[in-house]
A and B are shown apart, each in its own frame.
Chain A
Amino acid sequence: GIQVEQSPPDLILQEGANSTLRCNFSDSVNNLQWFHQNPWGQLINLFYIPSGTKQNGRLSATTVATERYSLLYISSSQTTDSGVYFCAVETLINDYKLSFGAGTTVTVRA
């Protein structure tokens, strides 16, 4: 199956700092989503972004499908941004499900 690698595994930020999370994947995809898992365990969908760039407030994401990676940008981080960020992909051929990466754990300190 498809391999999804996220980096870095852990990230510690000071409040107000900017950061970039990366997701590499091993095959062509027709779907890519970024999720934030909050302290209660809920998966919050951030972006549906199989290609291109999207922005939502302080968060933005870019997927370069031809080079098989996606980036999630957090600007002016806040303590509420803490949690685990997951990238998940669905491939083009016979793989009608999302495969998740191992996640990046982000800790934002006041």
Chain B
Amino acid sequence: EPEVTQTPSHQVTQMGQEVILRCVPISNHLYFYWYRQILGQKVEFLVSFYNNEISEKSEIFDDQFSVERPDGSNFTLKIRSTKLEDSAMYFCASTKEIGYGYTFGSGTRLTVV
């Protein structure tokens, strides 16, 4: 079964540093997403991406965050200057079309120290 692949699985970074989280969505999927889950809390929507541009973003997705699809396969989330409160599990997801099932990656656990 096709998978969404995320790397790295775990990243530790110092406060103020930039991090890039990487995702390879399923090849024939057209809609891409990033979600965040702070430890012990529910999974929150960050941003959706379609046709090479952001479709929607949440209040969490401020100027410190950006997304990019640099080539035909990768989808990245960049945090420019990390804060302690950015520590969370970040999930990438993709879907073929709206109303179709979403496939989630295994997540990247980001720890900011």
Q: Which residues of A line the B interface, CB within 8 A?
A: 30-31, 33, 35, 41-43, 45, 48, 50, 86, 88, 90, 96-103
Contact = CB atoms under 8 A, between A and B. Distances in A.
Contacts, number: 53
Interface in B1-55: 31, 33, 35, 37, 42-45, 48, 55
B74 interface: no
Most buried by A among B31, B42, B56, B98: B42
B48 A43 contact: no
Contacts of A50: 99
Nearest to A98: B102
A96 B42 contact: no
A100 B31 CA distance: 18
A50 B100 CA distance: 10
A41 B102 contact: no
Nearest to B50: A96
Given A86-B43, A96-B55, A97-B56, A43 B100 contact: no
Interface residues of B, number: 24
B107 A42 contact: yes
Interface of B is mostly: strand
A86 B37 CA distance: 12
Given A88-B43, A97-B48, A43 B101 contact: no
Contacts of A33: 101-102
A57 to B, nearest CB: 16
Contact of B99 (A30, A42, A88, A103): A30
A97 B61 CA distance: 15
